[in-house]
């Protein structure tokens, strides 16, 4: 245990925690926007898997990381169009539709991977970029300011999301259709258009999260996410539908995961004990839900399809 509490190991753990938090953060921030508009998307995991596969495949074929990121976002956008059509245009039940998207993404990414790639081959990873001056701060610098660009982007998107929701007309519309769509409708705000746009944002960020995941790992395999997308959805509840809260949740997750990995590497926990430790994040989520369930209130119209009557 004392091996763990050395400065260098702690810094390395923090650094890897922040890296591991990145996909969670991206997906959860997007999902926050979606849920604030009243739309729950349980398909995040499926979207992440699909975008992760396509990003991986692009890097494998072209070696171009930024093209891969772009493709990841585009895949998310396409899945958003599908999900928006199902839930906003057709008014289908959101919970099960999302599960459909998940199963579809799981199957298709698996299928395409086995057909187009076969065995996992490592690809280029996202390089870390040092921020001048700040990265030279002892200990803190390497942990916080020697990360990849998508990590920086994820953290930049926190204030962006806050600003979007709090200070723009679009954000005001999103919040109103998520709380009382009839009121918004009676004032001429298009509930469908607003929700559709929020879904597109949510899904393209899920796509970005998939790209970030695979480009940080440098490898793809079927069911790469292992339920990360579902945790990302839970983190929105965890963060009480606020970007800052969501960030805290994502960081907590990243750090817990990183600590477990570090302990395993240091032999602090036995090999099969790591399976038990791997239960921690999900158990933690359930406990958090129990504690928070009665204290925070979800957007009032969350999961409710809107129709005039």
Partner 1 sequence: MNGITKAFPGVVANDSIDFDVRYGEVHTLLGENGAGKSTLVKILFGLYQSDEGSIRLRNDPMEITAPAEAISARIGMIHQHFMLVPTLTVAENVALGTASTRRPFTDLDLVSERVADISRQHGLAVDPSVEVRRLAVGERQRVEIVKALYRDVELLVLDEPTAVLTPGEVDDLFVILRRMADSGHGLIFISHKLREVMSLSDRITVLRNGRVVQTITPAETSTEELAQMMVGRSVNLAPDKPKREPGGVRLEVQGLTVQGDREEISVRQVDLLVRSGEILGVAGVSGNGQRELAEAIAGLRSVEAGGVVRLDGIDVTDRDVRARRDQGLGYISEERMKDGAIAEFTVGENLLLVEHGSKKFTRRGMLAFGAINKHCEKLVEDFGVKTPSVETPTSSLSGGNIQKVILARELSAKPKVLLACQPTRGVDIGATEYIHNLLIEQRDLGTATLLISEDLDEVLGLADRIAVMYEGRIVGIVPVEEARRNQIGLMMAGVPEQEARNSP
Partner 2 sequence: MLKSLIGALVPLLAAVVALAFGATMLLALGASPVEGFSAMFDGAFGSGSRIAATAVKATPLILVGAGITIAFRANVINIGGESQIIAGALLSTVVALSFPDLPTILLVPAVLLAGLVGGGILGAIPGALKAYASVNEILSTIMLNLVMVQFMNYLLRGPLIDPYEMEAGTRIPQTQRLSDNAMLPNLVDGTRLHLGVPVAILAAVGAYLLLWRTPTGFRLRAVGHSADAARASGMNVKRNITLALALSGSLAGIAGAILVFGSEGQRMVTDGSAAGFTGSAGFNGIVAALFGGLHPIWTIPSAMLFGALLTGATQLQRVLQVPAALAVALNGIIVIFVVSSTPVRGWIQRSLSEAGLFNRHNDTKTENPRHSRSEPGGLSDMPDPSEESGNV
The footprint of partner 1 (CB under 8 A) covers 167-173, 175-176, 179-180, 182-190, 300, 308
CA 300 to chain centre: 23
Q: Which residues contact 306 (CB under 8 A, 6 or more apart)?
A: 38, 91, 177, 181, 182, 185, 191, 192, 195
DSSP symbol at 131: P
Q: How far is the CB of 102 from partner 2 (least distance, A)?
A: 7
Q: Is residue 253 a contact partner of residue 235, using CB atoms and an 8 Å limit?
A: yes
- The site partner of 176 among partner 1, partner 2, none (C-beta below 5 to 8 Å per kind) is partner 1
Q: Is 219 in the site for partner 2 (CB under 8 A)?
A: no
Contact call for residues 48 and 23 (beta carbons, < 8 A):
yes
Residue 36 and residue 174: Cα distance in Å, rounded? 6
Q: Does 266 bind partner 2 (CB under 8 A)?
A: no
- Which x/- pattern over 31-60 shows residues binding partner 2 (rule: CB under 8 A)? ---------x-x---x--------------
Taking the C-alpha atoms of residue 257 and residue 265, their distance in angstroms, rounded to an integer, is 12
Q: Binder to partner 2 among 17, 76, 80, 105 (CB under 8 A)?
A: 105
**Residue 80: Cβ within 10 Å count:** 28
CA distances from 276 to 249, 260, 264, 282 (A): 21, 10, 11, 11
Q: Give the residue among 279, 258, 280, 282 at the shortest CA–CA distance from 21.
A: 258
The listed partner (partner 2, partner 1, none) that binds 103, CB under 5 to 8 Å by sort, is partner 2
Decide if residue 230 touches partner 2 (CB under 8 A): yes
Nearer to partner 2, 183 or 282 (CB): 282
Query: Any contact of residue 180 with partner 2 (CB under 8 A)?
Result: no
**Alpha helices per DSSP H over 222-295:** 228-238, 243-266, 273-277, 280-292
Q: Does 248 bind partner 2 (CB under 8 A)?
A: no
- Distance (Å, whole) CA 222 – CA 29: 25
Select the span of 138-146, 160-168, 202-210, 273-281 touching partner 2 (CB under 8 A): 273-281
Closest CA to 9 of 272, 264, 248, 217: 264
Pick from partner 2, partner 1, none: which does 187 bind, CB < 5 to 8 A by kind? partner 1
Which of partner 2, partner 1, none does 46 bind, CB closer than 5 to 8 A by kind?
A: partner 2
Phi, psi for 247 (deg, rounded to 5): -60, -45
Q: Give the residue, chosen from 30, 100, 181, 249, that forms a contact with partner 2 under the rule CB under 8 A.
A: 100
**Shortest spacing between CB 299 and partner 1, in angstroms:** 8
Question: Could you tell me the smallest distance in angstroms from the CB atom of residue 135 to partner 2?
Answer: 35
Smallest distance, partner 2 to C-beta of residue 204, A:
19
Tokens of 17: 């925690």
Residues that bind partner 2 in the complex, under the rule CB under 8 A: 40, 42, 46, 82, 86, 90-97, 99-108, 110-111, 114-115, 222-223, 226-227, 230-231, 233-234, 237, 271-273, 275-276, 278-279, 281-283, 285-286, 289-290, 292-294, 296, 298-305, 307, 309
């Amino acid at each position: 245990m004392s091996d763990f509490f050395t400065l260098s190991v702690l810094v390395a753990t923090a650094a890897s925690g922040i890296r591991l938090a990145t996909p969670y953060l991206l997906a959860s921030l997007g999902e926050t926007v979606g849920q604030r508009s009243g739309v729950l998307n349980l398909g995040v995991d499926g979207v992440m898997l699909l975008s992760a596969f396509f990003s991986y495949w692009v890097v494998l074929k072209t070696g171009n990381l930024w093209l891969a990121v772009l493709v990841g976002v585009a895949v998310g956008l396409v899945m958003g169009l599908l999900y928006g059509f199902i839930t906003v245009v057709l008014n289908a039940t959101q919970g099960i539709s999302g599960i459909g998207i998940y199963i579809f993404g799981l199957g298709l990414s698996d299928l395409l991977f086995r057909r187009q790639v076969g065995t996992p081959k490592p690809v280029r990873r996202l390089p870390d970029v040092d921020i001048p001056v700040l990265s030279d701060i002892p200990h803190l610098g390497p942990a916080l300011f020697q990360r990849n660009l998508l990590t920086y982007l994820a953290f930049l998107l926190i204030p962006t999301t806050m600003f979007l929701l709090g200070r723009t007309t679009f954000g005001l519309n999103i919040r109103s259709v998520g709380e009382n769509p009839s009121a918004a409708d009676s004032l001429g705000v298009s509930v469908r258009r607003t929700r559709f746009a929020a879904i597109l944002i949510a899904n393209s960020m899920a796509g970005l999260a998939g790209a970030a995941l695979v480009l940080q790992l440098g490898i793809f395999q079927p069911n790469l996410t292992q339920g990360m997308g579902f945790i990302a959805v839970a983190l929105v509840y965890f963060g009480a539908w606020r970007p800052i809260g969501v960030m805290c949740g994502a960081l907590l997750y990243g750090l817990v995961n990183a600590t477990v990995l570090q302990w395993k590497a240091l032999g602090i926990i036995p090999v099969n004990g790591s399976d038990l430790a791997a239960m921690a994040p999900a158990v933690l989520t359930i406990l958090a839900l129990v504690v928070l369930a009665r204290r925070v209130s979800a957007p009032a119209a969350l999961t409710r399809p809107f129709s005039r009557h």
